Structure 1
Amino acid sequence: MTTERVNPPELSPPTGFSHAVVATGSRVVFLAGQTALDGDGKVVGETLPEQFERALTNLLTALTAVGGTPSDLARVTVYTTDVTAYRTHAPQLGSIWRQLAGRDYPAMAVVGIVRLWDEQALVELDGFAVLGDRPGPRAART
């Protein structure tokens, strides 16, 4: 799999995302929305950064289960119930992203919403990745 991050000079310089990602590979993985749910299905974390870290960890866990890595992410959408808080915490959220996923940013969007399925959830991440021909680990399938 190869990815090329494209950031045209005519556009505003991206911070924490890429304007376009060109990905070539043989496997496309669609990642379901992940919130800050723990293994028991309970939302953990009181603050947006705490929930963002858990939601991103959950997204990356699903990606790893199919043999992907953070650099395989082509697109991520962030849904938040408080865009103002997201902007306020953006430096901390960026630090969390770099710690867990590195600096190969996918194409991204942040969308403000009224609420999420779990009322305590403040943020949800979904996305898709493009993987090469390497086989993924056998994960539990239901």
Structure 2
Amino acid sequence: MDGPEVLNPKNWPTPKGYANGMLAEGRLLVTGGIIGWDETENLAEDFVSQGRQIFENIRAILAEGGAEPRHLVRLTWYVVDIEEYLANLRDLGRAYREVFGAHFPAMALVQVVRLVEKKARLEIEATAIVPTAKVQQVHT
């Protein structure tokens, strides 16, 4: 198995934009809470731009560990305003697909009072499973 398997119990509707569960073999790769700033710590201005930068940042971390977006098994989103998230869902989804493709791992979305960086509108933690063969290639 090179990538995770989507788990959806029989007779459940197929979720849109996320998976109910994922099954994978390999080495665990986790990120901290990633926000929408670039390598010089300049924070993107608006919600969707911050989201796109977060996706790019996660993709860069995955690459460091020999993984790709298709190896993601979970994303936990923290937003300061769920209404802002819902209002930007279409554009955010487009940015997600442009960076990660059509791979939708298990996801959770949580509204929080604020994030450490006051101007950050969202933060995402990512979990990926790197296939063992990929890990060996990166470290040899």
What is the aligned partner in structure 2 of residue 51 from structure 1? 50
Contact map agreement 2:8 2:19 (CA 8 A) in 1: yes
Indicate how the Cα distance of structure 1 residues 88 and 10 shifts in structure 2: closer, same or farther if over 3 A, else same: farther
Contact map agreement 2:3 2:70 (CA 8 A) in 1: no
| TM-aligned CA deviation for residue 37 of structure 1 | 1.4
Residue 104 of structure 1 pairs with residue 103 of structure 2: yes
Percent identity between matched residues is 27
TM-score by length of 1: 0.88
| TM-aligned CA deviation for residue 70 of structure 1 | 0.3
- Paired with 2:103 and 2:130, the residues of 1 have a C-alpha distance of 15
Equivalence map 1:51-90=2 (5 Å): 51-90=50-89
- Paired with 1:57 and 1:137, the residues of 2 have a C-alpha distance of 20
Q: Which moved more, 1:55-64 or 1:35-44?
A: 35-44
Q: Which amino acid aligns with 1:17?
A: Y
| TM-aligned CA deviation for residue 49 of structure 1 | 0.5
| TM-aligned CA deviation for residue 12 of structure 1 | 4.4
Q: Report the structure, 1 or 2, having the larger strand content.
A: 1
Q: Which amino acid aligns with 2:116?
A: W
Q: CA RMSD for the aligned pairs?
A: 1.6
| TM-aligned CA deviation for residue 95 of structure 1 | 1.1
- Secondary structure of the equivalent of 1:58? helix
| TM-aligned CA deviation for residue 137 of structure 1 | 4.3
Q: Which amino acid aligns with 2:53?
A: R
What is the aligned partner in structure 1 of residue 114 from structure 2? 115
Q: Report the structure, 1 or 2, having the larger helix content.
A: 2
- Paired with 1:105 and 1:35, the residues of 2 have a C-alpha distance of 19
TM-score by length of 2: 0.89
| TM-aligned CA deviation for residue 69 of structure 1 | 0.2
Q: Which amino acid aligns with 1:23?
A: A
